[in-house]
Amino acid sequence: MPSDRPLAVLDTNTVLDWLLFRDPGAQALAEALASGALDWVACPAMRTELAQVLSRPALARWRPDAGQLLAAFDRHALLHADPPRLPAPALQPSDPDDQVFVDLALACGARWLLSKDRALLKLAGHARLRGLAILRPADWPGTA
């Protein structure tokens, strides 16, 4: 069901900052999502990546409850189909694993792609020409 709310795509680390680490830099984002002022769009490939990341030994010290975190993903994300892979994407990050975030943001008309990933942040200038702001969550201006 379409909504008038602005759309954002969150990369995996932003989701972890919000749901697992409770990073203060993601607080405004968390509040906007909880209040319904913002819609988070995601796709099955993003959920799969989150599940894979949650099983990595690097996160073991935080003892993530993968079931709980994936349930939060399912509860909060507006799930769209995986975006088609284009032979020559309009915006191509240096890390091919990041392409899905860019492609979905552009395909859905998202206003923001929130990430701390350098490969994605390097695309900010070119993305802005296509109506997409790529920002760190702490720099996100809110829905205004």
Pick the closest to residue 43 from 15, 19, 4, 5 (CA basis).
15
Tens of pLDDT, residues 41-97:
999 999 999 999 999 999 999 999 999 999 999 999 999 999 988 777 779 999 999
For residue 33, give its domain range: 7-139
The CATH number of residue 100's host domain is: 3.40.50.1010
Please give the single-letter amino acid code of residue 75: R
**Cβ pair 36, 73 in contact under 8 A:** no
Domain membership flag for residue 57:
yes
Q: Which residues pair with 8 in a beta bridge?
A: 40, 112
What is the number of domains present in the chain? 1
Flag whether pLDDT at 28 surpasses 80: yes
For tokens 């990595």, name the residue: 56
More confident residue, 33 or 3: 33
Domain membership flag for residue 1:
no
Mean pLDDT of 85-113: 90
